[in-house]
Amino acid sequence: MEFKDFKELATYAKEENCSDIHITVGTNIAVRRYGELKILEPAPSAEISRNMIFSILNQEQVEKVTGGSDLDVGVMLWDGTRIRANVYHQRNNLACSIRILNQSIPTFEELLLPPVCKDLAEQPRGLVLVTGPTGSGKSTTLASMVDYINRTTSRHVLTIEDPIEYVYPHDKAMIHQREVGKDVTSFATALRSALREDPDIILVGEMRDYETISAAITAAETGHLVLSTLHTTSAAQTVERIIDATPLEGQDQIRTQFSNVIKGVITQTLVPTADADGRVVATEIMLGTPAIGNLIRDKKTIQIPSSIQAGRQAGMHLLNDDLVSLVARGRITKENAMWVSNDPAALDKMC
């Protein structure tokens, strides 16, 4: 399958429902479809590959890349599709990983997310985290929450992203989107400025370091609803990651602060469907109940899974609970459920 330019390649990828494209100068193009990587034959010439990468960059970005820098960019294509791209160097050649974003923002119902996600988007203040491995749909879930807020409430939403992924038109809400590296120097700087910009809701693309985590928790403490993401695979691991990112002398304080502001953690992963013609989301939900808050403060995060199971009535559930339900309904196979589970042995017994 030969492509003479990026437009042809992107059109093919979208028609095949691919989520990612990988272009490497000097070798084959690869695409990711429903989580599976597929190598495309034959390999394009080095010149075609390089031109494909350069076609999504402006002149300033081309100069940065040819000067040796790596680059994160968000780009709107000719047909309104947005992509997120990372351009980097390997074996003295250019490579580019591209994530294709949905042209329209899906609703909670379309994503098959649990109803409690809507409740979390309606919180007046506090911290809501969407977590999961790379490629698990975190950005889409966050976008769905912001879109729901935009359609239903008159609030000021400020997003801080690197790069900007989904673009929101003004509806009932007013939305300002700031891109790290273009509109502001860092997440933490943007968060400190945000407190003077009268937001009701602040979306932080990713809590990458202690400075950003601390600023996000402070924003939640001062009466804002803060939405963000982390690369963790369970609610308990999310709590530990927040604490571990904090210098030793500040960990007791951050435990108390975090336990007071956390409203919910949505942990998710995408699992191939049983018919291998798509993927379905499996979630773990932890809510910031008094019981969960006490466990966080008392350094008993190991007991969080038990507390989640005890809180099913409130809308909480473990990842294994959701996986078992999806297997029982024939949506996914037991083998794929075991592959993504945090506790395959327990899942095997449950199945």
Residue 116 has pLDDT above 90, yes or no: yes
Please tell me the predicted confidence (pLDDT) of residue 266.
Answer: 98
Please tell me the predicted confidence (pLDDT) of residue 103.
Answer: 80
Cα separation of the two ends of the chain: 42
Torsion angle of the four alpha carbons 286, 287, 289, 294, in this order, in degrees rounded to the nearest 10: 40
Distance CA(182)–CA(20), nearest Å, equals 24
Distance CA(86)–CA(74), nearest Å, equals 9
**127 confidence band (pLDDT: 50, 70, 90):** very high
Please tell me the predicted confidence (pLDDT) of residue 102.
Answer: 85
Residue 293 has pLDDT above 90, yes or no: yes
CA distances to 3, 259, 300, 304 from 195, rounded to whole Å, are 48, 21, 32, 32
CA distances to 18, 34, 273 from 279, rounded to whole Å, are 11, 6, 5
Please tell me the predicted confidence (pLDDT) of residue 344.
Answer: 93
**170 confidence band (pLDDT: 50, 70, 90):** confident
**351 confidence band (pLDDT: 50, 70, 90):** confident
Q: What global pTM score does this model have?
A: 0.90
Please tell me the predicted confidence (pLDDT) of residue 256.
Answer: 97
Torsion 252-266-129-115 (CA) sign: negative
Q: What is the DSSP string of 164-197?
A: --S----SSSEEEEEEBTTTBS-HHHHHHHHTTS
Residue 132 has pLDDT above 90, yes or no: yes
Each residue's pLDDT tens digit, 23-57:
999 999 999 999 999 999 999 999 999 999 999 99
Please tell me the predicted confidence (pLDDT) of residue 67.
Answer: 93
Segment holding 271, helix H or strand E: strand 262-272
The answer to whether 133 and 139 are in contact (CB under 8 A) is no
Please tell me the predicted confidence (pLDDT) of residue 80.
Answer: 87
**350 confidence band (pLDDT: 50, 70, 90):** confident
Q: Is 34 left (phi over 0), alpha (psi -120 to 50) or beta?
A: left
Token pair for 56: 């999504």
Query: What value does the mean pLDDT of the chain take?
Result: 95
Distance CA(12)–CA(31), nearest Å, equals 10
Each residue's pLDDT tens digit, 217-254:
999 999 999 999 999 999 999 999 999 999 999 999 99
Distance CA(112)–CA(115), nearest Å, equals 9
Each residue's pLDDT tens digit, 311-320:
999 999 999 9
Please tell me the predicted confidence (pLDDT) of residue 238.
Answer: 97
Token pair for 169: 């038109």
Distance CA(125)–CA(229), nearest Å, equals 17
For 75, residues 6+ apart whose C-beta sits below 8 A from its C-beta are 56, 82, 83, 85
Please tell me the predicted confidence (pLDDT) of residue 48.
Answer: 96
Residue 292 has pLDDT above 90, yes or no: yes
What does the pLDDT average to over 318-336?
96
Q: What are phi and psi of 239, to 5 degrees?
A: -60, -45
Amino acid at 168: Y
Distance CA(203)–CA(128), nearest Å, equals 10
Distance CA(21)–CA(96), nearest Å, equals 8
Token pair for 337: 């459920």
CA distances to 45, 175, 237, 277, 296 from 170, rounded to whole Å, are 43, 6, 36, 35, 38
CA distances to 16, 58, 318 from 327, rounded to whole Å, are 26, 47, 15
